[in-house]
């Protein structure tokens, strides 16, 4: 395994007596789309702003592509594209001037990439000629996404990227993230509390609660560990004393309808049902919300 | 750096034009008044009716056309306008933290110190350009309004007053920059320094007439800006500029240190 795109080691930040984040350790691999989940005030933005060297850690360290975010901050930030959670704008600038200003601060974006992103996010020339004070929240957000993605740097750090975007733009955003992580190998670290988006875009998630990282899982692991609800309908009444596999927990057992929760593969349950007059089986789809909420409540890593 | 400086100027262009316009208009008005006094030969009468302590404070500025033409460089209102505008310019780093713009700018590969250096460059250009504009206004005003035969102010006096005003404003700018470098909101840096500047001006004025205030007035940057004394040729320019420059350097160093070590 090479150098992680992002490495946090015991990262801790106190704001006076208040814990911002505490003892956060995490590796995000190159090309990975990592979702950083947590409730408001859990420490997502504090983590991101510490990686960007806007906050100085109380202890611990963060590194981007092997460059320490405090001691080699300049080198680290050369490799980061950042979208803040709340989009700051210069109201007197037009959209085009805003992008030109940020591009001039470096790294220089290729013109073709900017045009591609503007098309992808449906930002017209007319929009770019308007002053930002006249922009809607969604429009500001779109410009924010464009400025974060336009430089083609290897690491993107996006704080609540879809907040304020309409469903069409969320779709465009998800497609873009998928595309650049696959084709350019860009690492994406995105914070969110919209679980369905994380489910769709991320290959792995970290859950932060009260400043502490309580779980890090791949989506595959989450799916495997998530209990799914299975409803079995029988063509005639059956006895509920039938032995069930260990990975199955009965929820309700009526003579002709059982509802059970199953964790892991369905095979043992199907084998147990083989001798019974099964009329129909319904398996509820995997719901990341339930799993994440369970992990969040359990608070175990 | 040019990008940051240009952006900063564009943000403040409106206020800069307003301040420069007021100062230019004030200079024209002063010369018009001075011309009117000169034509009616009223300077002698003015010297008789103005109380001694005011004459002390304003020096020969009320006794001649040349003196009155330059009063705009040390009269309280234009001086405070220049000083408070410089304080405003110097507090831009705090404004950027407040608006979250610092996140956007410093997420890019820029050193934090660049924002302080940028502000210093903007302060320097602002201080110099305000003096240039007002200097041009005085010159044009004299060309246009001065009655024939009156003695114009000496160029050396005008330049000395410009240097003093720029240095004093710069010193308050440096204090404001140090305050802004540790503030999260512009108002919390701007308000105390601007109010402090007014208080220190009053302290210096009191120092002219009250011995207790005179002892404290050495702490005021205005103490090292003896405006009316310039017209009498009785100032130690090198000493005063050294004091103002040293104080500015200390506050600028403090600003760099604080901004470099703080959470943004």
Which CATH number do you get for residue A136?
3.40.50.300
Residue A290's nearest CA partner among A248, A229, A230, A232 is: A229
In this structure, is residue A297 part of a structural domain? no
- Structure confidence at residue B163 (pLDDT): 94
Is the CB of residue A248 less than 8 Å from the CB of residue A264? no
- pLDDT per residue as tens digits for the range A18-70: 999 999 999 999 999 999 988 888 899 999 999 999 999 999 999 999 999 99
Mark yes or no for CB contact B264/A78 under 8 Å.
no
Residues A69 and A38 in one domain: yes
Phi, psi torsion values for A81, nearest 5 degrees = -110, 130
Most confident option among A197-211, A260-274, B167-181: B167-181
Residues A202 and A73 in one domain: yes
Mark yes or no for CB contact A52/B99 under 8 Å.
no
- Structure confidence at residue B59 (pLDDT): 65
Residues A218 and A253 in one domain: no
- Decide which of B235 and B144 is more confident: B144
Select the residue of A74, A78, A102 nearest B104 (Cβ to Cβ). A102
User: Which pair of structure tokens corresponds to residue A2?
Assistant: 């090479």
Q: Whole-angstrom Cα distance, residue B48 to residue A20?
A: 70
> How sure is the predictor about B66, in pLDDT bands with cuts at 50, 70 and 90?
confident
Mean pLDDT of B68-76: 86
In this structure, is residue A280 part of a structural domain? yes
Residues A161 and A231 in one domain: no
> How sure is the predictor about A301, in pLDDT bands with cuts at 50, 70 and 90?
very low
In this structure, is residue A291 part of a structural domain? no
CATH number where A245 lies: 3.30.70.250
Mark yes or no for CB contact A84/B104 under 8 Å.
yes
Residues A208 and A245 in one domain: no
Lowest mean pLDDT among A147-156, A199-208, B123-132: A199-208
Is the CB of residue A11 less than 8 Å from the CB of residue A47? yes
Residues A184 and A249 in one domain: no
Cα→Cα distances B226→A148, A172, B80, B120, B130, Å: 53, 66, 15, 25, 20
- Structure confidence at residue A164 (pLDDT): 85
Show which of A206, A222, A238 is a domain's final residue: A222
Identify the sign of the CA torsion A136, A138, A144, A149. Answer: negative
Mark yes or no for CB contact B10/A84 under 8 Å.
no
User: Which pair of structure tokens corresponds to residue B169?
Assistant: 């404003």
| Average predicted confidence (pLDDT) for chain B | 90
Residues A238 and A198 in one domain: no
In this structure, is residue A294 part of a structural domain? no
| Average predicted confidence (pLDDT) for chain A | 89
> How sure is the predictor about B63, in pLDDT bands with cuts at 50, 70 and 90?
confident
Is A22 touching B (CB cutoff 8 A)?
no
- Structure confidence at residue B98 (pLDDT): 95
Mutation target to probe the B interface, by most B beta carbons within 10 A, among A48, A54, A159 is A54
For chain B, give the percent of residues with pLDDT over 90.
63
Determine the distance in angstroms separating the CA of B27 from the nearest CA of chain A, rounded to an integer.
31
In this structure, is residue A80 part of a structural domain? yes
Show which of A202, A222, A242 is a domain's final residue: A222
Identify the sign of the CA torsion B243, B245, B248, B253. Answer: negative
For chain A, give the percent of residues with pLDDT over 70.
98
Total domain count for chain A? Answer: 2
Mark yes or no for CB contact B100/A49 under 8 Å.
no
User: What is the residue range of A254's domain?
Assistant: 227-285
Q: Which residue of chain A is at minimal alpha-carbon distance from B100? A: A88
- Structure confidence at residue B226 (pLDDT): 84
Identify the sign of the CA torsion A59, A60, A61, A62. Answer: negative
- Is residue A258 helix, strand or coil? strand
Residues A123 and A259 in one domain: no
Mean pLDDT of B143-160: 89
Determine the distance in angstroms separating the CA of A68 from the nearest CA of chain B, rounded to an integer.
14
> How sure is the predictor about B58, in pLDDT bands with cuts at 50, 70 and 90?
low
- Structure confidence at residue B38 (pLDDT): 83
> How sure is the predictor about B208, in pLDDT bands with cuts at 50, 70 and 90?
confident
Mean pLDDT of A219-237: 84
Q: Whole-angstrom Cα distance, residue A149 to residue A266?
A: 42
Residues A25 and A140 in one domain: yes
Residues A166 and A280 in one domain: no
Mark yes or no for CB contact B263/A77 under 8 Å.
no
Residues A107 and A132 in one domain: yes
Residues A211 and A260 in one domain: no
Residue A119: CA count within 13 A, CB half-sphere: 6
In this structure, is residue A71 part of a structural domain? yes
User: A36: which strand partners?
Assistant: A191, A206
Show which of A222, A253, A273 is a domain's final residue: A222
**pLDDT above 50: residue A174:** yes
- Decide which of B69 and B54 is more confident: B69
In this structure, is residue A117 part of a structural domain? yes
């Amino acid at each position: 395994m090479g150098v992680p795109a992002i490495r946090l080691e015991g990262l801790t930040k106190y704001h006076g007596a208040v814990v911002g984040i505490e003892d956060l350790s995490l590796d995000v691999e190159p090309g990975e789309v990592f979702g950083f989940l947590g409730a408001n005030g859990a420490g997502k933005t504090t983590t991101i702003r510490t990686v960007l060297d806007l906050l100085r850690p109380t202890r611990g360290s963060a590194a981007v592509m092997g460059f320490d975010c405090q001691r080699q901050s300049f080198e680290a930030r050369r490799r980061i594209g950042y979208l803040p959670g709340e989009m700051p704008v210069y109201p007197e600038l037009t959209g085009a001037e805003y992008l030109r200003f940020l591009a001039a601060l470096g790294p220089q974006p290729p013109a073709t990439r900017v045009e591609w992103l503007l098309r992808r996010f449906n930002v017209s020339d007319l929009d770019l000629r308007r002053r930002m004070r006249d922009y809607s929240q969604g429009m500001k957000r779109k410009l924010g996404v464009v400025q974060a993605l336009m430089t083609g740097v290897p690491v993107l750090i996006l704080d609540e990227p879809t907040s304020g975007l309409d469903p069409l733009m969320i779709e465009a955003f998800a497609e873009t993230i998928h595309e650049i992580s696959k084709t350019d190998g860009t690492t994406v670290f995105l914070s969110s509390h919209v679980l369905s988006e994380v489910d769709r875009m991320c290959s792995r998630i970290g859950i932060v609660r009260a400043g502490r990282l309580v779980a890090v899982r791949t989506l595959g692991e989450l799916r495997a560990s998530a209990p799914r609800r299975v409803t079995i309908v029988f063509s005639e009444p059956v006895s509920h004393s039938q032995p069930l596999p260990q990975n199955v927990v009965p929820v309700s057992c009526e003579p002709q309808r059982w509802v059970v929760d199953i964790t892991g593969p369905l095979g043992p349950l199907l084998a147990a049902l083989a001798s019974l007059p099964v009329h129909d089986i319904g398996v509820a789809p995997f719901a990341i919300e339930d799993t994440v909420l369970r992990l969040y409540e359990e608070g175990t890593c | 750096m040019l990008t940051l400086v240009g952006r900063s100027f564009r943000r403040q262009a409106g206020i800069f034009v307003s301040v420069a316009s007021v100062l230019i208009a004030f200079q024209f008005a002063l010369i018009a008044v001075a011309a009117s006094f000169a034509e009616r030969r009223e300077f002698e009468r003015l010297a008789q009716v103005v109380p001694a302590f005011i004459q002390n404070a304003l020096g020969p500025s009320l006794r001649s056309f040349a003196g009155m033409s330059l009063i705009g460089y040390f009269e309280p209102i234009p001086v405070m306008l220049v000083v408070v505008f410089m304080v405003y310019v110097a507090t831009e780093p705090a404004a950027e933290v407040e608006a979250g713009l610092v996140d956007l700018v410093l997420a890019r590969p820029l050193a934090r110190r660049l924002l302080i250096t940028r502000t210093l460059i903007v302060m320097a250009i602002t201080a110099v350009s305000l003096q240039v504009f007002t200097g041009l206004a005085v010159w044009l005003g004299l060309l246009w309004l001065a009655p024939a035969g009156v003695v114009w102010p000496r160029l050396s006096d005008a330049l000395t007053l410009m240097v003093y005003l720029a240095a004093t404003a710069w010193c308050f700018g440096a204090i404001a920059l140090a305050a802004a470098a540790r503030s999260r909101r512009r108002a919390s840096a701007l308000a105390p320094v601007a109010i402090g500047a007014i208080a220190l001006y009053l302290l210096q004025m009191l120092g002219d007439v009250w011995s207790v205030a005179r002892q404290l007035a050495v702490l005021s940057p205005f103490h090292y800006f003896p405006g009316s004394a310039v017209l009498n040729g009785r100032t130690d320019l090198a000493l005063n500029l050294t004091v103002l420059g040293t104080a500015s350097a200390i506050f600028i160093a403090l600003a760099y240190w604080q901004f470099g070590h703080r959470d943004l």
